[in-house]
Structure 1
Amino acid sequence: MPLTADADIKALLESARTIAMVGASDRPDRPSYRVMATLQNHGYRVIPVNPQITGEHVHGEFVFRELSQLGNQIDIVDIFRRSDTAGEAVDEAIAIGAKAVWMQLGVFNEAGAARAEAAGLQVVMDRCPAIEIPRLGVAPVSD
């Protein structure tokens, strides 16, 4: 079952340090652009992943083509993709050993969520961390 209890979601956000954002955008009018800035301002390292803008930079971070290119331990893979394509990002998150997958507002992929949970990942669906952080009073990230 995806995480739904406030305490569980807060604990996930407070334990995370590095977030990979699949579907990150370099366009200021896109929600992923604003959410990435919000997460960075809260202290997270956010690594953008988007094959359409690979090699560019978003909010100072190099944009990677796919999750498999990341050498860092990823705590949360934040998925800004349509529900019907979110499962691909979930499978990549499993393959790189991420700790959790987070499907953004309006993103539901039950089969992907089940695969992630079976692989030991925590799952959040249909929520936005930029909304949950202030709502839950998540402390800023510090090292």
Structure 2
Amino acid sequence: MTSTTIPALLTETRTIAVVGLSAQTNRPSHEVAAYLQSKGYRIIPVNPTYAGTIILSEHCYPTLTTAAKVLSEEGVTIDIVDCFRRPEHMAAIVQEAIAVRARCVWMQRGIIEPVAAAAAEKGGLYVVMDKCLMIEHKRLS
């Protein structure tokens, strides 16, 4: 694990890719993303189902790799990859997060995948598992 802390991470980062972000406002991914956006973070929607649409006033990308490529043209990097996908999808997401040089992979509450977490740490990413980014932000604010 890279040496950082959740408070430092939330203070120092500005761009959060939300993998699995739903356009449906009643879904937890949408609630968390809207909250974080209201706190000044730039939210990058990543969901192949909604690719090409606008969610929370941001273009939705089919993959993390595609999002990172477009954002790099704007001089923007992805700091946190916030995951709203089942554990069996984490290994592939972690590989993309490492490839795009994200700073952290954050697995939301209920998502525990030790093998993917170990791979992320080996790849230099800070890892958070089984915690809600919104709850942690509120707790530290």
- Provide the TM-score with structure 2 as the length reference: 0.90
Counterparts in 2 of 1:111-122, with a 5 A limit? Answer: 111-122=115-126
* Letter matched to residue 94 of structure 1: I
Return the alpha-carbon distance in structure 2 between the equivalents of residues 60 and 136 of structure 1. 26
Return the alpha-carbon distance in structure 1 between the equivalents of residues 91 and 36 of structure 2. 23
Q: Confirm or deny that 1:100 pairs with 2:104.
A: yes
- Provide the TM-score with structure 1 as the length reference: 0.89
Runs ≥4 residues deviating over 2 A: none
Query: Does the 8 Å CA contact 2:2/2:124 hold for their aligned counterparts?
Result: no
Q: 1:34: which partner in 2? A: 31
The CA deviation at 1:21 is 0.4
The CA deviation at 1:119 is 1.0
Q: Which deviations, in whole Å up to 9, do the C-alpha atoms of 1:15-70 show, x marking residues without a partner?
A: 11100000000001110011110000010001000001101111100100001112
Q: 1:54: which partner in 2? A: 51
Return the alpha-carbon distance in structure 2 between the equivalents of residues 81 and 122 of structure 1. 18
* Letter matched to residue 135 of structure 2: I
Query: Does the 8 Å CA contact 1:56/1:62 hold for their aligned counterparts?
Result: yes
Q: Which runs of 5+ in 1 are unaligned?
A: 138-143
What secondary structure sits across from 1:19 in the alignment?
A: strand
Query: Does the 8 Å CA contact 2:18/2:83 hold for their aligned counterparts?
Result: yes
Return the alpha-carbon distance in structure 2 between the equivalents of residues 52 and 2 of structure 1. 32
Counterpart selection for 2:139 from 132, 135, 142:
135
* Letter matched to residue 16 of structure 1: T
Q: Which runs of 5+ in 2 are unaligned?
A: none
The CA deviation at 1:2 is 9.2
Return the alpha-carbon distance in structure 2 between the equivalents of residues 91 and 33 of structure 1. 24
Which stretch has the larger CA shift, 18-27 or 79-88? 79-88
Fraction of identical pairs, as percent: 48
Counterparts in 2 of 1:73-88, with a 5 A limit? Answer: 73-88=77-92
Q: Confirm or deny that 1:124 pairs with 2:128.
A: yes
RMSD between aligned residues: 1.6
